[in-house]
Protein backbone atom coordinates (compact mmCIF):
# COMPACT_ATOMS: atom_id res chain seq x y z
CA UNK A 1 0.00 0.00 0.00
CA UNK A 2 1.45 3.34 -1.00
CA UNK A 3 0.16 6.44 0.69
CA UNK A 4 -0.41 9.59 -1.37
CA UNK A 5 2.60 11.44 0.04
CA UNK A 6 5.10 8.76 -1.03
CA UNK A 7 5.32 6.99 2.33
CA UNK A 8 4.99 3.25 2.37
CA UNK A 9 2.76 1.47 4.86
CA UNK A 10 4.50 -1.15 6.98
CA UNK A 11 3.01 -3.22 9.74
CA UNK A 12 4.91 -3.29 13.03
CA UNK A 13 6.71 -6.54 12.27
CA UNK A 14 7.81 -5.42 8.82
CA UNK A 15 8.89 -2.10 10.24
CA UNK A 16 11.04 -3.69 12.98
CA UNK A 17 12.57 -6.10 10.49
CA UNK A 18 13.34 -3.55 7.78
CA UNK A 19 14.81 -1.00 10.15
CA UNK A 20 16.97 -3.42 12.12
CA UNK A 21 19.66 -3.76 9.48
CA UNK A 22 23.24 -2.61 9.95
CA UNK A 23 23.27 -0.24 7.04
CA UNK A 24 19.93 1.18 5.99
CA UNK A 25 20.22 1.37 2.23
CA UNK A 26 16.73 1.30 0.69
CA UNK A 27 14.77 3.27 3.27
CA UNK A 28 15.10 6.58 5.03
CA UNK A 29 12.80 8.29 7.52
CA UNK A 30 10.37 6.25 9.57
CA UNK A 31 7.12 7.40 11.17
CA UNK A 32 5.65 5.32 13.97
CA UNK A 33 1.92 5.96 14.04
CA UNK A 34 -0.19 5.71 17.19
CA UNK A 35 -3.92 6.21 17.69
CA UNK A 36 -3.40 7.53 21.21
CA UNK A 37 -4.10 11.19 20.88
CA UNK A 38 -5.70 11.17 24.27
CA UNK A 39 -4.06 9.85 27.39
CA UNK A 40 -5.47 10.06 30.86
CA UNK A 41 -3.01 10.70 33.64
CA UNK A 42 -3.35 9.49 37.23
CA UNK A 43 -4.88 12.78 38.32
CA UNK A 44 -7.54 12.38 35.68
CA UNK A 45 -6.54 15.23 33.38
CA UNK A 46 -6.70 14.86 29.63
CA UNK A 47 -3.26 15.84 28.52
CA UNK A 48 -2.12 14.93 25.06
CA UNK A 49 -3.54 16.31 21.92
CA UNK A 50 -0.68 16.44 19.52
CA UNK A 51 0.67 15.01 16.31
CA UNK A 52 4.38 14.54 16.90
CA UNK A 53 5.40 13.09 20.26
CA UNK A 54 9.06 12.50 19.80
CA UNK A 55 11.83 11.79 17.38
CA UNK A 56 15.20 10.12 17.15
CA UNK A 57 18.01 11.24 14.89
CA UNK A 58 19.13 8.41 12.72
CA UNK A 59 22.76 9.42 12.38
CA UNK A 60 24.20 6.31 13.92
CA UNK A 61 27.68 7.46 13.12
CA UNK A 62 27.39 10.22 15.70
CA UNK A 63 27.94 7.49 18.25
CA UNK A 64 30.98 6.16 16.45
CA UNK A 65 32.50 9.60 16.21
CA UNK A 66 31.90 10.24 19.90
CA UNK A 67 28.75 12.19 19.28
CA UNK A 68 25.46 11.98 21.12
CA UNK A 69 23.77 8.58 21.30
CA UNK A 70 20.65 8.65 19.22
CA UNK A 71 19.56 5.64 17.23
CA UNK A 72 21.15 2.28 16.73
CA UNK A 73 20.18 -0.30 14.15
CA UNK A 74 20.56 -3.23 16.53
CA UNK A 75 19.17 -1.48 19.58
CA UNK A 76 16.24 0.77 18.79
CA UNK A 77 13.59 -1.92 19.36
CA UNK A 78 15.00 -2.40 22.87
CA UNK A 79 15.98 1.11 23.94
CA UNK A 80 15.82 4.79 23.17
CA UNK A 81 16.96 8.19 24.28
CA UNK A 82 16.04 9.98 27.50
CA UNK A 83 12.92 11.46 25.99
CA UNK A 84 11.73 8.88 23.53
CA UNK A 85 11.99 5.14 23.05
CA UNK A 86 10.31 1.79 23.64
CA UNK A 87 8.70 1.29 27.05
CA UNK A 88 10.41 -0.83 29.67
CA UNK A 89 7.40 -3.21 29.57
CA UNK A 90 8.16 -3.85 25.92
CA UNK A 91 11.94 -4.07 26.25
CA UNK A 92 11.60 -6.59 29.10
CA UNK A 93 9.59 -8.78 26.77
CA UNK A 94 12.08 -8.72 23.89
CA UNK A 95 15.40 -8.84 25.73
CA UNK A 96 17.04 -12.14 26.66
CA UNK A 97 19.87 -11.93 29.18
CA UNK A 98 20.51 -8.33 28.26
CA UNK A 99 20.62 -9.05 24.54
CA UNK A 100 18.09 -7.53 22.21
CA UNK A 101 16.26 -10.29 20.35
CA UNK A 102 15.00 -9.31 16.93
CA UNK A 103 12.97 -12.52 16.50
CA UNK A 104 11.15 -11.92 19.81
CA UNK A 105 10.44 -8.34 18.81
CA UNK A 106 9.00 -9.42 15.46
CA UNK A 107 6.88 -12.15 17.11
CA UNK A 108 5.31 -9.62 19.50
CA UNK A 109 5.31 -6.71 17.08
CA UNK A 110 1.59 -6.03 17.46
CA UNK A 111 2.21 -4.91 21.06
CA UNK A 112 5.02 -2.46 20.20
CA UNK A 113 4.90 0.42 22.67
CA UNK A 114 6.82 3.70 22.83
CA UNK A 115 6.96 6.27 25.59
CA UNK A 116 7.76 9.91 25.65
CA UNK A 117 8.33 12.45 28.40
CA UNK A 118 6.51 15.65 28.07
CA UNK A 119 8.70 18.01 30.07
CA UNK A 120 6.62 21.13 29.40
CA UNK A 121 3.37 19.74 30.69
CA UNK A 122 4.81 17.56 33.39
CA UNK A 123 7.82 18.70 35.34
CA UNK A 124 7.70 15.34 37.08
CA UNK A 125 8.57 13.81 33.69
CA UNK A 126 5.78 11.28 33.66
CA UNK A 127 6.42 8.59 31.10
CA UNK A 128 3.53 8.29 28.64
CA UNK A 129 3.10 4.94 26.85
CA UNK A 130 1.90 5.01 23.24
CA UNK A 131 0.76 1.85 21.44
CA UNK A 132 2.16 1.77 17.90
CA UNK A 133 -0.43 0.81 15.31
CA UNK A 134 1.61 0.83 12.13
CA UNK A 135 4.58 2.52 10.48
CA UNK A 136 5.08 4.78 7.49
CA UNK A 137 8.40 4.43 5.79
CA UNK A 138 10.08 6.63 3.23
CA UNK A 139 11.64 4.40 0.58
CA UNK A 140 14.65 5.63 -1.28
CA UNK A 141 16.67 4.25 -4.17
CA UNK A 142 19.67 2.32 -2.96
CA UNK A 143 22.94 4.09 -3.71
CA UNK A 144 26.00 2.03 -4.44
CA UNK A 145 29.02 3.55 -6.10
CA UNK A 146 32.06 2.02 -7.70
CA UNK A 147 35.01 3.19 -5.64
CA UNK A 148 37.97 4.03 -7.80
CA UNK A 149 41.36 5.27 -6.69
CA UNK A 150 43.75 6.32 -9.41
CA UNK A 151 46.87 6.10 -7.23
CA UNK A 152 46.21 2.52 -6.19
CA UNK A 153 45.36 1.56 -9.77
CA UNK A 154 48.67 3.00 -11.00
CA UNK A 155 50.57 1.03 -8.35
CA UNK A 156 48.75 -2.18 -9.35
CA UNK A 157 49.43 -1.58 -13.07
CA UNK A 158 53.14 -0.92 -12.40
CA UNK A 159 53.40 -4.09 -10.31
CA UNK A 160 51.74 -6.10 -13.07
CA UNK A 161 54.10 -4.66 -15.70
CA UNK A 162 57.09 -5.60 -13.52
CA UNK A 163 55.66 -9.10 -13.10
CA UNK A 164 55.13 -9.60 -16.84
CA UNK A 165 58.63 -8.26 -17.53
CA UNK A 166 60.17 -10.72 -15.06
CA UNK A 167 58.24 -13.59 -16.61
CA UNK A 168 59.33 -12.63 -20.12
CA UNK A 169 62.93 -12.24 -18.93
CA UNK A 170 63.04 -15.64 -17.26
CA UNK A 171 61.45 -17.28 -20.29
CA UNK A 172 63.43 -15.66 -23.10
CA UNK A 173 66.67 -14.53 -21.49
CA UNK A 174 67.59 -17.29 -19.02
CA UNK A 175 67.77 -20.17 -21.51
CA UNK A 176 71.19 -21.69 -20.76
CA UNK A 177 70.38 -25.10 -19.23
CA UNK A 178 68.46 -24.12 -16.10
CA UNK A 179 68.39 -26.46 -13.11
CA UNK A 180 64.66 -26.55 -12.53
CA UNK A 181 63.75 -30.18 -11.99
CA UNK A 182 65.86 -32.96 -10.50
CA UNK A 183 66.28 -34.52 -13.98
CA UNK A 184 68.24 -31.43 -15.05
CA UNK A 185 70.79 -32.00 -12.28
CA UNK A 186 70.98 -35.76 -12.92
CA UNK A 187 71.46 -35.19 -16.65
CA UNK A 188 74.21 -32.66 -16.01
CA UNK A 189 76.10 -34.89 -13.55
CA UNK A 190 75.75 -37.98 -15.73
CA UNK A 191 77.35 -36.12 -18.62
CA UNK A 192 80.09 -34.65 -16.46
CA UNK A 193 80.59 -36.67 -13.23
CA UNK A 194 81.88 -34.64 -10.30
CA UNK A 195 85.32 -35.89 -9.21
CA UNK A 196 84.73 -34.63 -5.65
CA UNK A 197 82.04 -37.17 -4.90
CA UNK A 198 83.72 -40.19 -6.45
CA UNK A 199 83.23 -43.17 -4.15
CA UNK A 200 80.46 -41.60 -2.03
CA UNK A 201 77.78 -43.49 -3.93
CA UNK A 202 75.42 -43.99 -0.97
CA UNK A 203 75.49 -40.38 0.17
CA UNK A 204 72.19 -38.83 1.32
CA UNK A 205 71.06 -35.21 1.43
CA UNK A 206 71.19 -35.00 5.22
CA UNK A 207 74.62 -36.59 5.58
CA UNK A 208 77.35 -34.61 7.24
CA UNK A 209 79.31 -33.52 4.18
CA UNK A 210 82.49 -32.93 6.22
CA UNK A 211 83.01 -36.67 6.67
CA UNK A 212 82.62 -37.61 3.02
CA UNK A 213 85.31 -39.95 1.83
CA UNK A 214 85.90 -42.24 -1.04
CA UNK A 215 85.87 -45.34 1.13
CA UNK A 216 82.12 -45.58 0.64
CA UNK A 217 79.85 -47.15 3.22
CA UNK A 218 77.77 -50.14 4.18
CA UNK A 219 74.29 -50.28 2.62
CA UNK A 220 71.33 -50.38 4.99
CA UNK A 221 67.78 -50.54 3.73
CA UNK A 222 65.76 -47.64 5.16
CA UNK A 223 62.28 -46.34 4.45
CA UNK A 224 62.31 -42.65 5.23
CA UNK A 225 59.28 -40.49 5.95
CA UNK A 226 58.38 -38.07 3.17
CA UNK A 227 59.21 -35.24 5.58
CA UNK A 228 62.82 -36.46 5.46
CA UNK A 229 63.09 -35.00 1.95
CA UNK A 230 62.63 -31.44 3.22
CA UNK A 231 64.97 -29.59 5.53
CA UNK A 232 63.77 -29.39 9.15
CA UNK A 233 64.03 -25.61 8.98
CA UNK A 234 61.64 -25.32 6.04
CA UNK A 235 59.13 -27.65 7.74
CA UNK A 236 59.23 -25.73 11.03
CA UNK A 237 58.98 -22.39 9.23
CA UNK A 238 55.97 -23.56 7.25
CA UNK A 239 54.19 -24.84 10.39
CA UNK A 240 54.87 -21.61 12.27
CA UNK A 241 53.54 -19.59 9.36
CA UNK A 242 50.35 -21.67 9.34
CA UNK A 243 49.72 -20.80 12.96
Partner 1 sequence: MSIVHISSFSSLPFGGVSASAILNNFTPHGLDPGGFTALALAVLVANLPQLLFSTLYFMYNRLLTSMLAMDEWSRFAYRSATLRVSYPSRSQRSTYWLHLPYTYSIPLLITTTMMHWFVAQSFFLARVQIYDADGNPYQELPGTSFDPILSTPGYSPKGIIASIALGSSMLLFLVGLGLRRYKGGIPLIGNNSLAVSAACHPPADDNDPAHSKVMWGAITPEYGTIPGHCCLTSKPVTPPLVDNWYAGLGKVIYRPV
Residues 122-181 that bind partner 1 (CB under 8 A): 140, 143, 145, 147, 149, 151-152, 175, 177-178, 180-181
CB 91 within 8 A of CB 78: yes
Shortest Cβ 43–partner 1 spacing (Å): 37
Q: Distance from CA of residue 12 to its chain's centroid?
A: 28
- C-alpha distances out from residue 9 to 31, 33, 134, 135, 168, Å: 10, 10, 7, 6, 63
Burial class (CB in 10 A: 0-12, 13-18, 19+), 58: middle
Identify any residues that bridge with 131 across adjacent strands, giving them in sequence order.
113
What is the spatial distance between Cα 150 and Cα 174, in angstroms, rounded to a whole number? 35
Binding flag, residue 233, partner 1 (CB under 8 A): no
Shortest Cβ 26–partner 1 spacing (Å): 12
The smaller minimum CB distance to partner 1, of residues 100 and 128, is found at 100
Contacts with 217 (C-beta within 8 Å, 6 or more apart), sequence order: 202
Site map (CB under 8 A) of partner 1, residues 69-88, x = contact: ----xx--------------
The smaller minimum CB distance to partner 1, of residues 102 and 131, is found at 102
Pick from 40, 89, 165, 228: which binds partner 1 (CB under 8 A)?
Answer: 228
The smaller minimum CB distance to partner 1, of residues 119 and 184, is found at 184
Shortest Cβ 115–partner 1 spacing (Å): 23
Q: For the chain, report the end-to-end CA distance as a whole number of angstroms.
A: 55
Please give the size of the binding site for partner 1, defined by CB under 8 A. Answer: 82
Amino acid sequence: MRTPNGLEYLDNAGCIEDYSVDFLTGRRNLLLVTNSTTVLYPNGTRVIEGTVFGMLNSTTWNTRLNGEYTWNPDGWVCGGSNNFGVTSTWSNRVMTNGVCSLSKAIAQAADLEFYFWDENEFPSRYSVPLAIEYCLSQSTPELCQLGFTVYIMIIVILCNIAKVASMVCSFWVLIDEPLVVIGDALSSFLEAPDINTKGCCLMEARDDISIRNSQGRIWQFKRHYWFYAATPFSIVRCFIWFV
